[in-house]
Amino acid sequence: MADADRDELAALVRGWTAHFEWGRESGAIALRRRGGASLPTAGEAPRVAAPVETPRVPAAVEAPSPAPVAHVVAPQPPRAPPIVEVAKPSPAPTPPAQAETRPLFEEPRRTFAPVVYAEERARLLTVVEDQARECRSCRLCEGRNQSVFARGSTNAELFFVGEAPGADEDRIGKPFVGAAGKLLDRILAAMKMSEDDVYIANVIKCRPPNNRPPEPDEAAACGPFLERQIELLRPKVIVAWGRTPTSFLLKKTESMTRLRGRWHEYMGIPVLVTWHPAYLLRNPDAKKDTWADMKLVLEKLGRPAPTGRA
Ligand code: SF4
C-alpha cells in the first residue's frame, strides 16, 4: 500500500473513532451486543432483554406418507411360448399292398333274377359265354389262348365250381379236362352220375400264368360271369372245389379244414366245400374226405349214395 493511502486510511479510522466516542458519550449511539440487545448507555440501568419468542414454526405438516407401494410384480412381457421340439412328422406309412388288405372277394349278391326256362337259359348262357370270350377286363386276357367257360348240362341240378383253367383247359377250351379233370370224372362216375348231370365252371375264365392262384382283383373282375351262370342255372346243390371258389362264394377266410365237409349257403343254395381234385392228386389220403362229401351231396340231391369207396 502506498504511503498516501495509508495516511488517508489512518485519518478515516481516527475520524470514525472520534465519532463513536462522541456518539457513545452523548447516547446518540447504542452499541448492540451481538445477538440483538443494545448495550445500555451510560447511566441507564441494565435492561433485561425480553425473551425473544421464538416464532413458532407450524408443525410440519407431515406429508402424507406415500401410499404403500404394493409390491406389484411388473407385468412381464409376454413370453414367447417355449420352444417345443416337434418331431418331424414321419412320412405317412405306406399302406400295405392292396392284395394283402382287401377281402379276397367282394360282398355276395343278394337277389337273383327271375327263373328262366331251359331254352332261354341255354340261350342266355351262350350270350354270357360270348362276353367272356371277348372279355379283356383283367390282365389274364393277355396270356390266354381262349377263355374257358363251362362244360356239362345247362339243366343240371348239381353245379361244380373250380378255381381257374390250367394249361390243358386253356388249350381245349373246357374246364377240368386235365389230370384233375379226369379225377373229377371218376368221382362223378362213382356217384353214378355223368357230365349230363352236372354243370362245371371255374371262378376265373382265363388261365393265370404258370397256374398261379388268381389275384383278388382278377377274381373280382371275372366273378360276375360265375354269378350269372349260377343265377341262370339255379342249381339245387353247389360243390366248391378248393379255396378260391370257397372264398368267392362264401366270403369266408377260415381254413379249408374247418370249412370242408359242412353245408354252407350261397344265395339260398346249399354249398358243400371239399378238396380240389388237384390237391387230391397230391394227397391221395384226402380222397376219403371228398368221397364222404360226395355222399352228402347225393343225399341232398335225393340220390342214393353208393356203398364202399370211390
Ligand atoms: S379272367 Fe375273366 S375277367 Fe379276366 S379277361 Fe378272362 S374273362 Fe375277362
pLDDT tens by residue, 203-217: 999 999 999 999 999
Sequence-ordered list of residues with C-beta below 8 angstroms from that of 80, at least 6 positions apart, any chain? none
**Within a domain: 41:** no
Residues in the chain, how many? 310
Report the percent of the chain where pLDDT is more than 70.
66
- Residue 265: inside a domain: yes
Q: Is the residue at 12 inside a domain?
A: no
Residue pointed to by grid coordinates 445477538: 35
- Max mean pLDDT range (11-25, 76-90, 94-108, 126-140): 126-140
Residues 41-77 pLDDT 10s? 434 443 434 444 443 434 444 444 444 444 444 444 4
**78 or 264: which leads in pLDDT:** 264
Position 63 in a domain: no
Looking at residue 38, its pLDDT comes to 40
Please tell me the distance from the alpha carbon of residue 217 to that of residue 270, in angstroms, as a whole number. 26
Give residue 301's region: left, alpha or beta (phi > 0; psi -120 to 50): alpha
Taking the CA atoms of 284, 286, 292 and 295 in sequence, report the sign of the dihedral they define. Answer: negative
CATH number, domain containing residue 162:
3.40.470.10
- Asked whether residue 249 is domain-assigned, the answer is yes
Q: How far apart are the first and last CA of the chain?
A: 168
- Can you give 232-272 as a three-state secondary structure string? HHCCCEEEEECHHHHHHHHCCCCCHHHHCCCEEEECCEEEE
Per-residue confidence (pLDDT) for residue 9, from 0 to 100 = 72
Mutate which of 205, 226, 229, 244 for ligand 1? The one with the most ligand atoms within 8 Å of its CB, which is: 205
Closest CA to 161 of 283, 96, 244: 244
Give the model's pLDDT for residue 6: 73
What's residue 67's pLDDT? 46
- In eight-state DSSP terms, residue 159 is E
Ligand 1 centroid, distance to 133 Cα (angstroms): 8
- What is the band of 20 on the pLDDT scale with cuts at 50, 70, 90? low
**pLDDT digits 0-9 by tens, 155-178:** 999 999 999 999 999 999 999 999
* Range of lowest pLDDT (103-117, 172-186, 214-228, 266-280): 103-117
Residue 275 CB neighbour total at 10 angstroms = 21
What is the Å distance from ligand 1's center to 287 Cα? Answer: 31
Determine, yes or no, domain membership for 80: no
Q: What's the pLDDT score for residue 209?
A: 96
Q: Decide if 240 is inside a domain.
A: yes
- Confidence label for 31 from pLDDT (cuts 50, 70 and 90): very low
Residue 127 belongs to what domain range?
Answer: 117-301
Does ligand 1 have an atom closer than 6 angstroms to the CB of 141?
Answer: yes
**Number of structural domains found in the chain:** 1
Task: Tell me whether residue 40 is in a domain.
Answer: no
Q: For residues 59 and 40, give the distance between their C-alpha atoms in angstroms, rounded to a whole number.
A: 37
Mutual angle of helices 118-134 and 216-233, in 10-degree steps: 160
From atom 8 of ligand 1, which residue's Cα is the shortest distance away?
135
DSSP state of 151: E
How many Å is the Cα radius of gyration of the chain? Answer: 63
Q: Answer whether residue 227 shows pLDDT above 80.
A: yes
